[in-house]
Amino acid sequence: MKTLHTLMILAVLTAASTLTACSHAMMMIHGTGARRPAASEFTLGPRASVEGRYVATLEPSQPLRPRQMQTVRVIVRDVDGRGIDDAQIVVDGGMPQHGHGLPTRPRVTRSLGDGIYEIEGVRFNMGGWWEFRLAITGSRGVDTVTFNLAV
């Protein structure tokens, strides 16, 4: 009986460890601690800023694809849905799992009114989970909104 128990435990442990090893490898392929957010967190918006001053929505001119220079519109509104014009928007981003930023310096090149801004020079140098951050300084104050993008 004793040997049986030992064997049983061994079997379960082996099975368990192989399984965790697999899922571990899949969760963090590149191995920095950052965890990919749930699928529901991946959205082009509308997305609220950290302190709730703004709601932003991204509208890429083409589907987001790796290794291509792209243009993305962002629509900035207040919580009541009014477009925010004359805001300063600083664009930043990177891959939390890899610890690198964007390969280019994208920026707002045009303000189209109704809270719509055009961001040019966006490029993702690989597929995967990217953070895309907008630091907004506008009539409602200073706030940041972070998008999780699946490229």
Partner 1 sequence: MTNRTRTATALVVLILWATLASTAASTRTRWTTAQLEELRSMSITELPPLPPDPTNRVADDPRAADLGRRLFFDTRLSSNGRVACSTCHQPERGFQDGIALAVGVGTTARRTMPIAGMARSPFLFWDGRKDSLWAQALGPLESPVEHGGTRAQYAHLIAAHYRRDYEAVFGPLPDLSAVPGSAGPAGDATAMTAWSTLNETLRDLVTSVFVNIGKAIAAYERHIVFGASRFDRYVAAVTAGHPGDDVLTEDEIAGLRLFIGRANCSQCHNGPLLTNNEFHNTGVPSRPELPLDRGRLTGATTVVGEEFNCRSRWSDARQRCAELDFIVTGAHTLDRAYKVPSLRNVAERAPYMDGGQLATLADVLDHYNRAPAAVGGHSELRSLRLKSIELRQLEAFLRTLSGPVLVDGRAAAGATP
In this complex, which beta carbon is closest to Cu ion, that of residue 99 or of residue 141?
A: 99
Backbone angles phi, psi at 13, to 5 degrees: -60, -45
* Binding test (CB under 5 A) with Cu ion, winner from 47, 98, 107, 123: 98
**Closest by alpha carbon to 133, among 70, 61, 79, 58?**
58
Q: What is the total count of residues that contact Cu ion (CB under 5 A)?
A: 3
**Closest by alpha carbon to 123, among 74, 43, 56, 64?**
64
Q: What is the helix (H) or strand (E) element at residue 24, kind and residue range?
A: helix 2-27
**In the complex, what is the shortest distance from the CB of residue 82 to partner 1, in angstroms, rounded to a whole number?**
30
Residue 136 per-residue DSSP state: E
In this complex, which beta carbon is closest to Cu ion, that of residue 34 or of residue 44?
A: 34
Asked whether position 95 contacts Cu ion by CB under 5 A, the answer is yes
In this complex, which beta carbon is closest to Cu ion, that of residue 75 or of residue 95?
A: 95
Chain residues binding Cu ion by CB under 5 A are: 95, 98, 126
